[in-house]
Chain A
């Protein structure tokens, strides 16, 4: 049976579009509803992050990392802090490590909630979005307790954290976890196993593991393709090796391994695993300890360079820092996981329909702040 080919049309999705998750522009070549080629145009949010960093001191870089992946600022802070610490050979106190794990896992949950909620919105389900934002709000409230900020925290510093956990934080955190765990079931009932949602996402935009590896896709997107790769387990940083948690991988439960539904489902499972880590970390959190103890008076790393990666909610977030012994970095390069995820979009969404492209883009969970930097 032949397919009728009509005239091709170039359609600009964005930069102002409800579903591009920021100011992304997609030049889409369409034949009717079927998409034949996608060319992402990026740079609308470019703020010269890397060049800026060459002109500020090591401490001053941290607020800039906040603004890269603004959905998961804590994880960005952590990634940068552990990189500089390793370069300088700083040992941080155990309490600081626990606090870091707690805040970055909370931020992972918040980030995944936003990703899943907006994904629901992309395929037309409005209500799960608001449910997830309601719960994310409580995490942001806790961050407000911790450091006063709700989005851009500047909390994790080189050698420590800016403030100790406030009084009553641990209780609030337990209360939240007790409230939150049953919520995951509600999300599953409402969206994950919804027939229409499964129809829209299962078997759509399949990312085979070899393609994912070749493109350098990491994080939940890679794990959804069935590759068990998580920096927290495979190359542990901070104190992640102390915790017991699973790495969910896509199993193709309702379609093919590596489809949109798997990417969604892996994130949903990761939320549950983060809750597990959080319970252990809150239990093991030392009562005594000074969080400012290891913060150096002046950050002046020795000559040399370092490349260190951490697991942000979007994948391998890596910093490459070259130091010439001065208080400012000679060169700072950030490996952005969302950037590599976006690069695979054209490969996996060719031949699908316009609505699917939106669904595939949403399932990759990109943040434009991080792509453009």
Chain B
């Protein structure tokens, strides 16, 4: 659903307004609202999934509705909806000593960072808000935008724990951008394009044409990207910016209610983005694993989302299995292991394409 297509369609269907800039505005606003809904639904579904997945891994049942009257629905399916309502109705607390403007701004900055990255996610062959010719580069660039929000939140709270959290997350996310970027460079070298749709079209032809299986180097690149993706979304074992048992809540210690829920929304939106990029770049995007089978546009959305959900499940699995790393160990992994391997990988892919390409 690129904006151009929508604009053309609006021009045709509302002839008396054709050429009017109002239609252009409409063509921009409609996808934006849809995306917002996608992000909200994504957060609600993923929070529920996270709670259920963690519960089953920990020998619990998780949220469950019981009895008659007001409860969280069958199997607690309305739990996140109830949580959202609670968060909306909560008192909005701004600490007296906080830097008021920055404090208010921070959650939105983080959210915008996640939101504008979703724009370039290809949900289907035509279902993409903006198919830029530098799509993958764009996502890499704007996803670091959220770091500013994290630092702002950590700094403006005027709380030492938040400050630690903000500083840690800045160091972590900026570091892990590099191996993530380098592993995507291998994809770009193979496909020769930066456009998300172009990368996905390169992988048409079933499971074994997906980039992840096309050469051993690209498989390594996928692993590196996935590790970096976990780090970029601040999840265990790389959740040191929030590290509940050390930093209480990290950068969002002082936030409550709606503002806090924006951190939550953007965390899960970020998961959508990093896994969406992984799916598009390595796992064939919206293409079916069996060529020519269930490959209609509708099924495309299904494939794309289900591939994302598989990766999200792996992320949750990792989160509820592993302990947390220490700050310096985290940096060691990035700079001493992932980065050299990623660099070597680029070299390897170069030789691979020279010989087999």
Q: Which A residues form the contact surface with B (CB < 8 A)?
A: 9, 11, 17-19, 33, 120-127, 130-131, 134, 190-191, 194, 196-197, 199-200, 353-356, 358
When C-beta atoms are compared, the residue in chain B nearest to A362 turns out to be B245
Interface size class of B (residues with CB under 8 A): 20 to 34
Cβ A196 vs Cβ B325 within 8 A: yes
Interface centre among A131, A200, A353, A355 (most CB of B within 10 A): A355
Cβ A126 vs Cβ B327 within 8 A: no
User: Can you report 24 A-B residue pairs in the complex whose CB atoms are below 8 A from each other?
Assistant: A9-B160, A18-B245, A121-B245, A122-B245, A123-B324, A124-B243, A124-B245, A124-B323, A125-B323, A126-B58, A126-B320, A127-B57, A130-B60, A131-B59, A199-B326, A199-B329, A200-B323, A200-B325, A200-B329, A354-B164, A354-B246, A355-B246, A355-B326, A358-B246
Within the complex, the shortest CB–CB distance from A350 to chain B, in Å, comes to 17
Within the complex, the shortest CB–CB distance from A345 to chain B, in Å, comes to 16
Cβ B326 vs Cβ A127 within 8 A: no
**Which residues of chain B have C-beta atoms less than 8 A from A358's C-beta?**
245-246
Within the complex, the shortest CB–CB distance from A183 to chain B, in Å, comes to 11
The digit string for B83-96, where 1 denotes a CB below 8 A from any CB of A, is 00000000000000
Q: What is the predominant secondary structure among interface residues of chain A facing chain B?
A: helix
Q: Does B54 contact A (CB under 8 A)?
A: yes
Q: Does B353 contact A (CB under 8 A)?
A: no
Interface centre among B57, B237, B325, B329 (most CB of A within 10 A): B237
Complexed CA–CA distance, A123 and B324 (Å): 6
When C-beta atoms are compared, the residue in chain B nearest to A204 turns out to be B326
When C-beta atoms are compared, the residue in chain B nearest to A123 turns out to be B323
When C-beta atoms are compared, the residue in chain B nearest to A356 turns out to be B326
When C-beta atoms are compared, the residue in chain B nearest to A122 turns out to be B245
**Which residues of chain A have C-beta atoms less than 8 A from B57's C-beta?**
127
Which residues between 315 and 336 of chain B lie within 8 Å of chain A, taking CB atoms? Answer: 320-329
Q: Which B residues form the contact surface with A (CB < 8 A)?
A: 54, 57-60, 160, 164, 236-237, 239-240, 243-246, 248, 320-329
Complexed CA–CA distance, A113 and B60 (Å): 18
Complexed CA–CA distance, A190 and B59 (Å): 14
Within the complex, the shortest CB–CB distance from A144 to chain B, in Å, comes to 21
Within the complex, the shortest CB–CB distance from A42 to chain B, in Å, comes to 20
Cβ B59 vs Cβ A199 within 8 A: no
Cβ A18 vs Cβ B323 within 8 A: no
Complexed CA–CA distance, A301 and B60 (Å): 51
**Residue from A9, A122, A190, A355 in contact with B327 in the complex, judged by beta carbons closer than 8 Å:** A355
Complexed CA–CA distance, A74 and B355 (Å): 72
Within the complex, the shortest CB–CB distance from B333 to chain A, in Å, comes to 10
**Which residues of chain A have C-beta atoms less than 8 A from B320's C-beta?**
126-127
When C-beta atoms are compared, the residue in chain B nearest to A358 turns out to be B246
When C-beta atoms are compared, the residue in chain B nearest to A130 turns out to be B58
Cβ A353 vs Cβ B326 within 8 A: yes
Within the complex, the shortest CB–CB distance from A363 to chain B, in Å, comes to 13
Closest 4 CB pairs of A and B: A124-B324, A125-B323, A130-B58, A123-B323
Within the complex, the shortest CB–CB distance from A1 to chain B, in Å, comes to 14
Decide: A196 near B322, CB < 8 A? Known: A124-B239, A353-B328, A354-B164.
yes
Within the complex, the shortest CB–CB distance from A193 to chain B, in Å, comes to 12
